[in-house]
Amino acid sequence: MALPLALSGQDLIGQARTGTGKTYAFGIAMLQSIGKPRKNRKKPRGLVIVPTRELAVQVSEDLVTAAGKLGSRVLTVYGGRAYEPQIEALKAGVDVIVGTPGRLLDLVKQKHLDLSQITSLVLDEADRMLDLGFLPDIERIFKLIPEERQTMLFSATMPGEIVALSRKYLNRPTHVRAEHDSGEGEATPQVRQLVWRAHRMDKIEIVARLLQADGRGLTMVFCETKRACDMVAEQLDTRGFAVAAVHGDLGQGQREQALRAFRNGKIDVLVATDVAARGIDIDDVTHVVNYDAPTDDKTYVHRIGRTGRAGRTGIAVTFVEWEELTRWKMINQMLGLDFAEPEETYSTSPHVYSELNIPEGTKGVLPHAARSRAGLSAERLEDLGETGRTRTRGRRRDEREEREERPARAPRQRRRTRGGKPAVETPTVETQEAELVDAKTEETPAIITTEEIQAAAEPKRARTRRGAASSAIEQALSDTPEAAEPTVKRVRGRRVEPTETEVAQVEPARARRTRAEAAPVESEPAEVTESEQPARTTRARRARVEAEPVSESLQAPQAAQAPQVVQQPVAEPEPSFLATPPPPVRQEPERIIPPSPFAVIFQSPDLATDDDDIAPSAASERKQQRRQQQRRPRRAG
């Protein structure tokens, strides 16, 4: 009915169910009115405005097919691609332009596109363009084209906004509605509809089992948000299905790659938002799944209209959650359906297997033997010179795989440095001290008693201030002429063994000291009395034992020598070389702990002076005011 009216040049409003051939209804009439292309005619004569990029590509392909023998030059113009190929095609000359409003206005603003010779204008899916907010852009385009033109509006639904637009810009249009008298947005009768009330966490399991039904072809799954699309696509991919996602956050090249792979059969599941719910015509789509309930009746009609096209049959399954029941009841009432109370359904419900023809025992994972699709990676990704921000598909999954493939980090080798240079490893101090004590024990076995050995074996403080105790006892022993020993030097806290020359020089002194110990003591020095000698000797012993720690490895040899030490009487006077008291042990000075550098001490300056008066309080001011009132003389009556 619409084709004869369009060929006659009348303005037209076409309304029909999706999939009934609206594109050819206006495409044939437009190509027929334009005629064959001419070399001297480079400006376009026909203009088709569509809401989405995917629909623009599909309409262009249909027009190229319809203009097979005419040879009409059809150009597709939409965003997300490079400008240069489109500008070059416009300079070469075109007959029909199919595009989205945004890119059309951009080319007009850059003066690459001239719409002054348009004779035929078509608005496809006009209601969707109004929903997306394209009404101001469409009004600007109407002002750029001549008033003497043929205008046609086509849509599956006809809301009041479309009627108002047609009254403003169309000239006595004819409204053509195909196959039904009323009920705008009536659903396709060839589609068997199933509405189930499902739980959010169980919907993905139902979809995984639905995709294994007998006789299932290509399947489209519609979600409400972009994030839900990515989530559903990722979970179905992990379950073994050949799946791809299409939504607005993907680049144009990725969206076209997914649609080509879906048309070519390399993938059999397409998860999309409502961007793919309008006008997409793909053969062999047998199942449509509304993973999220639609927002209104028009969206529901367009979603399920992706199947059952051109006389075919299909199945549409809609999941309704508990909080979406109110919205679904309104959609059900608007469309006159019989699903006001959806049946409560789970992945293990028997009616899921019976109504969808799913084999018994089917699980939510596709068997490896049934994974025969090539997948999305088998489809070539075309470089379109995309504009705008860079977008990626499956970014989180790619990052996770990259982290898994990354080799393990080698263990870090740390080197201790001093002043930017590697530090030299110092030998352990305990071994050197043990050797020194062992040598002294062999030479003077009669000096150390059993009690002193036990006292020396007790754990001492490991860290001293620059070895103060050790240096003090070494100085005391070196001051005694009879007790000449090879001194132990300290360099930055380390012990250094005496050289052979130093040892040779001290050997005669050792011999003299040994002979002096064997000789009997005849007299005591005059400076030291008998009462003072034991006290000084005891202090010297205690200082020597405390200053030189004895290692655990020497306890056994010293214990073996203990019987020889006990045989000598303790009350006997000490040898003469110990008569001179050693200098007092230097005590550690008290450590001064500085205050914390992070403590901030602030004292506010006293700005007050002696001449300043103290501010009166509120109570004092009120008392003063009452006194002043009382002092005032009363007026004579």
458-474 confidence digits (pLDDT tens): 555 555 455 555 565 66
Task: Indicate the SS3 state at residue 349.
Answer: coil
Q: How far apart are CA 154 and CA 329, in angstroms?
A: 28
pLDDT of residue 189: 67
pLDDT of residue 432: 44
Question: Residue 178 carries which side chain, given as an amino acid letter?
Answer: A
pLDDT of residue 498: 56
What six digits make up the tokens of 218? 């290509």
Q: DSSP of 461-485, one letter per residue?
A: -S--STTHHHHHHHHHHHHSSTT--
**Residues forming beta bridges with residue 243, ordered by sequence position:** 269
Single out the residue of 472, 489, 429 nearest to residue 588, CA to CA: 472
What six digits make up the tokens of 496? 């250094």
Alpha-helical segments (H) within 265-416: 297-304, 325-335, 350-356, 395-405
Given a contact cutoff of 8 angstroms between Cβ atoms, the answer to whether 271 and 232 are in contact is yes
Interior/surface letters 530-561, b for 16+ CB within 10 angstroms, e for the rest: eeebeebbeebbebbbebbbbeeebeeebeee
Classify strands 421-422 and 269-272 as parallel, antiparallel or unpaired: unpaired
Rounded to whole angstroms, what are the CA distances from 127 to 225, 275, 436, 522, 628? Answer: 21, 14, 101, 130, 84
User: Left if phi > 0, otherwise alpha if psi is -120 to 50, otherwise beta: which for 24?
Assistant: alpha
| C-alpha torsion sign, points 317, 323, 325, 326 | negative
Radius of gyration in angstroms for the set of CA atoms belonging to the chain, rounded to a whole number: 51
pLDDT of residue 500: 59
Question: Residue 359 carries which side chain, given as an amino acid letter?
Answer: P
Q: Cβ–Cβ contacts within 10 Å for residue 373, how many? A: 18
Q: Cβ–Cβ contacts within 10 Å for residue 131, how many? A: 18
pLDDT of residue 587: 76
* Ranges of residues in the chain whose predicted pLDDT is under 70: 1, 17-20, 156-157, 179-189, 279, 310, 385-416, 418-580, 594-595, 597-614, 633-637
- Residue 522's Cβ-count burial label (10 Å; 0-12, 13-18, 19+) is exposed
Domain ranges of the chain: 2-177, 191-393, 447-455+467-492+502-511+540-561
Superfamily of domain 2-177: P-loop containing nucleotide triphosphate hydrolases (3.40.50.300)
Rounded to whole angstroms, what are the CA distances from 383 to 251, 261, 387? Answer: 10, 16, 11
Q: Could you say which architecture CATH assigns to the domain 191-393?
A: 3-Layer(aba) Sandwich (3.40)
Give the number of C-alpha atoms closer than 13 A to the C-alpha of residue 276, restricted to the C-beta side.
30
pLDDT of residue 384: 72
Q: Cβ–Cβ contacts within 10 Å for residue 7, how many? A: 13
Q: What are phi and psi of 154, to 5 degrees?
A: -130, 135
pLDDT of residue 219: 95
Same fold? 2-177, 191-393: yes
The percent helix, strand, coil of the chain (3-state, each to 5) is 40, 10, 45
pLDDT in tens, 564-622: 444 445 455 555 555 667 777 777 777 777 667 666 555 566 665 666 666 778 888 88
pLDDT of residue 608: 59
∠ CA 187-193-197, nearest 5°, is 120
Span between the terminal Cα atoms of the chain, in Å: 110
